[in-house]
Amino acid sequence: MTPYPFSAVVGLDDLRLALLLTAVSPAVGGVLVRGEKGTAKSTIVRALATLLPEVDVVRGCRFACDPAAPDPACPDGPHEAGAPHGHRPATLVELPVGATEDRVVGTLDIQRALADGVKAYEPGLLAAAHRGALYVDEVNLLPDHLVDLLLDAAAMGRAHVERDGVSVKHAARFLLVGTMNPEEGEPRPQLVDRFGLVVTVAAPRDAVQRAEVVRRRLAYERDADVFAARFADEERELAARILIARRAVPAVVLPDAELDRIARICLAYGVDGMRADIVVARCAVALAAWHGRGTVTGGDVRDAARLALPHRRRKDPLDPPGTDEDRLEEALSQAGADDPDDDPNPSDGGPSDGGPTDGGPSDGSGDGPDKSDGRGSGSQAPRSGPGSSPPGSGAGDSGSGFDDATRADNSGAEGQLTDQPADADDKRPGGANASGGQQAQAGSVYRPKTLRIAARGEGGHAGRRSPAFARRGRVVGSRIPQGRLRGAAHLPATLRAAIHRGGADGVQARDLREAVHVGREANLVLFVVDASGSMAARKRMTVVKTAVLSLLRDAYQRRDRIGMITFRGRSAEQVLPPTSSHEVGVMRLASLRTGGRTPLAAGLSAAATTIATERRRDPRRRPLLIVVTDGRATSGPDPVTLAPALAGVATVVVDCESGPIRLGLARRLAAALHADVMPLDALSATPTTPLGRAA
């Protein structure tokens, strides 16, 4: 099917500019596109491939060697000077989330290597993407071992396959483009740092723009060829402009004054390392070439910084949204790069200057008035720069309580609470049972004890929490491979198998044994938090929120999925369905209010239902249940009766009971659940606490 035209996408000026700049200068380092679902992320990335210049390749080379400068280490080489060559379009290779390591780097046939002594290598996706583009949809959901492979290839420009002394290397220089939905969790900081530019997109908030998106999309679905023909001239102009700008890049001058400005911006912004300075410089040069200028201006530096820096500041992983953008504007102001008057040619997204900033759905945009610039008709949304927050993101919204919840100290937060009778049904307006109840603020987070499941898992999800069999880690044994070898061969066990077989003809394929590794896995950490009136007494909820916030940060660092259930009054509520977005978890915790009776059984029942649902969805991810309560149950059945529904679930009960007289109800609950119990004030400590009694 004819691809959707790049110039037909409505709006998305910042994203279009970022993609065009990386096409002009691949050295910028690629683009990461962050945005909610249905914002044309995938559509515009696929459309970019049709604009990339053709490449010359050595005929018959599976690794796309340039005939003018072939790779001397090419596995299909060496290629002689003047070898037959041809032209082909630049490739766009899509890396699926479920790709295996062999599919990414290529397959090395260990059986043939051992039996016949030959290297039988089949190139993977990295070889196919060489001198083209590698598109990773849902990059934040990639397994960690694939992320490591991408990091190595992006940093070195080469792919390296090595197993048991047999190795293959080949060039792998590509334009890396990734898309992600922040609601599904953040990718590893090391991976984000490898992307030169990061752009946040959102759906348009203007009815005219949204109608234009649908109109164009429907026209494209009716007849893709006719629709694409309407934008053929704009597509050719963009492709020609990319080629001209790419050739002009080497001649662009970066004055020392602008280089000093870049250094001051990066210092004021507090970035890690030197990659940020280099990327901003390269991006500013590409901007100047795109605008047809021979010298970088202050406006180029400013626009480059807003595209290249927001994701590079050293920060707390649970900082409130909008913090990066605010700090960047301060840094630009300090460095004197916030004055738009010094830019003779404001940055654009190609020929379609001045279009709306936000774009259409993930599958494209529809038909409308025949606008040669690709914009929708009618009123346009105000342009938000690359460093600004998308509409509706809540950045800078002090009313959310997010910033206070993560930064207020304990004493200040406690001063905002008022005591009330424990478990009282307060009928007053604004009381415990009114909409919202009382709201406490968390104090400063701390490093909590590491809670782990003692039994080894099957290693379904790489992470840093509980022990599990994995593709990497400490070798603890060997096994006969089931079909194809899935990991590294265990050479001592292979040799022993050959010796025991008594074969004098050497090692055969049937003697192969693969290594068994034990590493760490990520879990589903499900919080069940008591939000009843008893938790508000003695300012207890402030301490509880601080503890849960600390555990949320710990779960973020260990790559866990998280979920949260609260109970108060007469029912329980799933305030956070299982997700990888820890930022959402922090926001939900900040808005948590207390009051009413304590339906502890309802909370445990909701936890059992959630865990059962997640097990059907993902049987290999083991749950870790953390129940934060004082053990009181003043509404509903006895919570002990819910113990069978949670049988086999690794559980820890955080005992929130305080005061001189303690009833020990949380310990009674822990005994019924076969769970570990931990006093709330003992949660902050260094030693690791395995859940030994968990199944």
Q: Token digits for 345?
A: 């040619």
Residue 455 forms part of a structural domain: no
Whether the CB-CB separation of 196 and 30 falls below 8 Å is answered with yes
Same domain? For 132 and 165 the reply is yes
Contacts of 176 (CB under 8 A, 6+ apart): 29, 30, 31, 133, 134, 136, 150, 154, 194, 195
Residue 163 forms part of a structural domain: yes
**Summary count for the chain: helices (H), strands (E):** 22, 24
Q: Which helix (H) or strand (E) holds 106?
A: strand 106-108
What's the mean pLDDT in 489-504?
A: 80
Same domain? For 275 and 420 the reply is no
Is the pLDDT at 365 greater than 50? The verdict is no
Same domain? For 237 and 160 the reply is no
**Three-state DSSP state, 180:** strand
**Better-scored residue on pLDDT, 389 or 112:** 112
Alpha-carbon Rg of the chain, whole angstroms?
Answer: 29
Is the pLDDT at 538 greater than 60? The verdict is no
Q: Whole-angstrom distance between the N-terminal and C-terminal Cα of the chain?
A: 52
Q: What pLDDT was estimated at residue 366?
A: 40
Quickly state the pLDDT bin for 355 (edges 50, 70, 90).
Answer: very low
Q: What pLDDT was estimated at residue 328?
A: 72
Is the pLDDT at 248 greater than 90? The verdict is yes
Give the range among 299-303, 529-533, 589-593, 644-648 with minimum mean pLDDT: 589-593
Same domain? For 35 and 20 the reply is no
Question: From CA 625, how far away is CA 100, in angstroms rounded?
Answer: 31
In tens, the pLDDT along 3-53 reads 888 888 888 888 889 999 988 988 888 888 888 777 878 888 888 888 888
CATH of the domain at 642: 3.40.50.410
Same domain? For 271 and 312 the reply is yes
Phi, psi of 691 (to 5 degrees): -90, 85
Highest-pLDDT range among 39-48, 117-126, 470-479, 524-533: 524-533
Same domain? For 239 and 133 the reply is no
Quickly state the pLDDT bin for 70 (edges 50, 70, 90).
Answer: confident
In tens, the pLDDT along 591-610 reads 777 788 889 999 999 999 99
User: What predicted TM-score, i.e. pTM, was given to this entire model?
Assistant: 0.61
Give the HSE-up count for residue 416: Cα atoms under 13 Å, Cβ half-sphere: 17
CA–CA distances in Å: residue 522 to residues 102, 553, 560, 695 = 23, 14, 5, 16
What's the mean pLDDT in 391-410?
A: 33
In tens, the pLDDT along 158-196 reads 888 775 555 778 888 888 888 888 777 677 777 777 788
Give the range among 197-211, 246-260, 317-331 with minimum mean pLDDT: 317-331
Question: Residue 492 belongs to what domain range?
Answer: 462-521
Q: What pLDDT was estimated at residue 368?
A: 39
Residue that is last in its domain, among 362, 392, 422: 392
Q: Token digits for 81?
A: 């000077």
Give the range among 276-280, 364-368, 513-517, 576-580 with minimum mean pLDDT: 364-368
Same domain? For 194 and 215 the reply is no
Same domain? For 168 and 292 the reply is no
Question: From CA 32, how far away is CA 131, in angstroms rounded?
Answer: 19
What mean pLDDT is reported for the chain? 76
Do strands 133-136 and 175-180 pair parallel, antiparallel, or not at all (unpaired)? parallel
Quickly state the pLDDT bin for 372 (edges 50, 70, 90).
Answer: very low
Quickly state the pLDDT bin for 690 (edges 50, 70, 90).
Answer: low
Catalytic member of 158, 275, 496, 667: 275
Q: Token digits for 134?
A: 């590698």
> Active site includes 456?
no
Residue that is last in its domain, among 488, 521, 554: 521
Same domain? For 84 and 190 the reply is yes
How many domains does the chain contain in total? 4
Same domain? For 17 and 44 the reply is no
Question: From CA 356, how far away is CA 374, in angstroms rounded?
Answer: 10
Question: From CA 434, how far away is CA 471, in angstroms rounded?
Answer: 52
Highest-pLDDT range among 93-107, 330-344, 615-629: 615-629
Residue 476 forms part of a structural domain: yes
Quickly state the pLDDT bin for 399 (edges 50, 70, 90).
Answer: very low
In tens, the pLDDT along 414-468 reads 323 233 333 344 433 333 333 455 666 766 778 888 888 888 887 767 777 888 8
3-39: buried (b, 16+ CB within 10 Å) or exposed (e) per residue? bbbbbbbbbbbbbbbbbbbbbbbbbbbbbbbbbbeeb
Same domain? For 169 and 38 the reply is yes
Residue 222 forms part of a structural domain: yes
Q: What pLDDT was estimated at residue 284?
A: 94
Residue that is last in its domain, among 504, 521, 538: 521
Measured CA angle at 277 (ends 271, 281), to 5 deg: 150
Torsion of CA 284, 285, 291, 292, to 10 degrees: 160
240-265: buried (b, 16+ CB within 10 Å) or exposed (e) per residue? ebbbebbebbeebebeeebbebbebb
Percent of the chain with pLDDT over 70: 76
Is the pLDDT at 157 greater than 50? The verdict is yes
Residue 457 forms part of a structural domain: no
Whether the CB-CB separation of 109 and 101 falls below 8 Å is answered with no
Is the pLDDT at 590 greater than 90? The verdict is no
Q: Token digits for 84?
A: 């037959």
Whether the CB-CB separation of 652 and 694 falls below 8 Å is answered with no
CA nearest neighbour of 243 among 197, 177, 289: 289
Question: How many residues are listed for the chain in this entry?
Answer: 695
Highest-pLDDT range among 381-390, 444-453, 559-568: 559-568
Same domain? For 121 and 234 the reply is no
Residue 654 forms part of a structural domain: yes
- What's the DSSP call for residue 425? -
Q: Which helix (H) or strand (E) holds 269?
A: helix 256-269
CATH of the domain at 57: 3.40.50.300
Question: From CA 179, how far away is CA 135, in angstroms rounded?
Answer: 8
558-576: buried (b, 16+ CB within 10 Å) or exposed (e) per residue? bbbbbbbbbbbbeebeebb
Whether the CB-CB separation of 180 and 33 falls below 8 Å is answered with yes
What's the mean pLDDT in 657-673?
A: 86
What's the mean pLDDT in 510-529?
A: 86
Give the range among 29-33, 534-538, 578-582, 585-589 with minimum mean pLDDT: 534-538
